[in-house]
Amino acid sequence: MPRATPAAGRVREAGRRAIAEGAVGMRRVLLRAAAGLGLAVAVAGADVPLETLGSTERLREPPHPHWVFVGDLLLRRSALLDLDRSTFLGMVSSGFLSQGIAVPRRRAEFYVPETYYSRGSRGERTDVVTIYDAAALEPVDEVAIPPRRAINVLPSANAALSDDDRFLAVFNMTPATSLSVVDVEARSFAGEIATPGCSLVYAGGERRFLMLCADGSLLTVTLDEAGQEAGKLRSEPFFDPNEDPVTEKAVRYGDRWLFVSFEGQVHAVDVSGDAPRVEAPWSLLDEADREDAWRIGGIQHLAVHAASGRLYSLMHRGGADTHKQSGSELWVYDLGTRERTQRIALHHPGFSFMGDTIEFGKSWPWPFNRLSDWLLDSVAPNPGLDVVAVTQDAEPLLVTGSKQSGSLAVYDARSGRFLRRISSGNFMVHAVQAPWSAP
């Protein structure tokens, strides 16, 4: 048997001391836990006033053009943000697979088509149009509609408000297609209108709505004063759905709806007359752009600033049928001259996890607080942008977002200069709406 050395004895002694100290430390931890539990029991038994839960505050000012709704399919809600102050103002629930908010111009309220199931994702289905107070962000009424609302991931064209703010048309698909019409002034269901072969819905006047049809034509649905069907008119096809279909993500510019095809052709539909008038198409792309494989792309790839006549389009380089691929640049067009005037390189929208923005070094002194922005713009891979929106005022802001992040990037819409990043508190950005114009 080997003889023990002095060094081995010191090692054993150190081990015994460590075990003894560990036992003492564990006893201290257990004693502190017991003391904390006793304190908690004592506090629970004390006469402590209960905290009031569920209080609601109203917005302290009227809606501003730089306020935006940010939709999240996963959280089933829309968050309301102030872009100037980078402030979260509130949120509204939007039911199963939310798809957007309809905001009238003449009343301090807004409307959300919603679907609910009695067992969460199954059970008895209920479809409603919920009417929200615009200041309290609280539901004040609801109108039941047939449980046939189209449930899809499209951020737009699932519902439309008539130009006089009276009737809301909700698109149904079961797979038979129809419109549910709600009189939002009377808070009542007006009726359902069958629209075979035609889908989605766009406002086209005080008593008219437009729908896209499978053969490339438009269906015009006209209502009477009670919201009942007064007539339907089918146009000639204005695009070839087999050769170059348009996306459903159209934007409105005055009395025109602008539809853009997979290959970048702009089809303008004028709704100012008795029947829609389709104008000659023009292209977002020149020959050099096509050779470089530039294409439209994104979930919500178009935005228009009405006062300046600027059209913004998310663009990426890709092959055929990549119209849903995220954009790497934002191209700006003058709708008067139909010429591209600017190309804006897009910044990373910012990382987020479970609704919280992941920032690094923001609290450090300048210039080290810029490290987070440098990492995002220079090192971190940009996931691309899926959503673009622009505010409708004299000093407009551009907002871009990604389905992979709950953060937004904000730009000056006139110069294209990047301004800041904002957290929406969402898991993802599915849609951005800037519904308010300057008074």
Measured CA to CA, the distance from residue 299 to residue 350 in angstroms comes to 18
Helix (H, G, I), strand (E, B) or coil at 346: coil
pLDDT in the model for residue 24: 46
State pTM to two decimals. Answer: 0.83
Q: Are 192 and 180 in contact (CB under 8 A)?
A: yes
> How does pLDDT run across 164-200, given as a tens digit for each residue?
999 999 999 999 999 999 999 999 999 999 999 999 9
CATH topology of domain 94-272: Methylamine Dehydrogenase; Chain H (2.130.10)
DSSP for 181-220, written as a single string: EEETTTTEEEEEEE-TTEEEEEE-SSSEEEEEETTS-EEE
Q: Is the pLDDT of residue 70 over 80?
A: yes
Q: Where are the domains of the chain?
A: 94-272, 284-439
CATH topology of domain 284-439: Methylamine Dehydrogenase; Chain H (2.130.10)
Q: Is the pLDDT of residue 437 over 90?
A: no
- What average pLDDT does the segment 311-318 reach? 96
Residue 226 CA: distances (Å) to CA of 102, 229, 324, 428:
20, 9, 39, 40
Fold: same for 94-272 and 284-439: yes
Q: Is the pLDDT of residue 15 over 50?
A: no
- What average pLDDT does the segment 216-229 reach? 97
Q: What is the mean pLDDT of the chain?
A: 86
Q: pLDDT band at residue 365, thresholds of 50, 70 and 90? A: low
Q: pLDDT band at residue 1, thresholds of 50, 70 and 90? A: very low
Phi-psi region of 31 (alpha: psi -120 to 50; beta: other; left: phi over 0): alpha
3-state helix, strand, coil in the chain (%, to 5): 15, 40, 45
Q: pLDDT band at residue 109, thresholds of 50, 70 and 90? A: very high
Q: Are 327 and 386 in contact (CB under 8 A)?
A: yes
Name the token pair of 314.
Answer: 């998310």
- What average pLDDT does the segment 207-225 reach? 97
pLDDT in the model for residue 36: 53
Q: Is the pLDDT of residue 6 over 90?
A: no
pLDDT in the model for residue 349: 80
Q: Are 197 and 214 in contact (CB under 8 A)?
A: yes
Q: Is the pLDDT of residue 107 over 60?
A: yes
Q: Is the pLDDT of residue 43 over 60?
A: no
- What average pLDDT does the segment 317-326 reach? 90
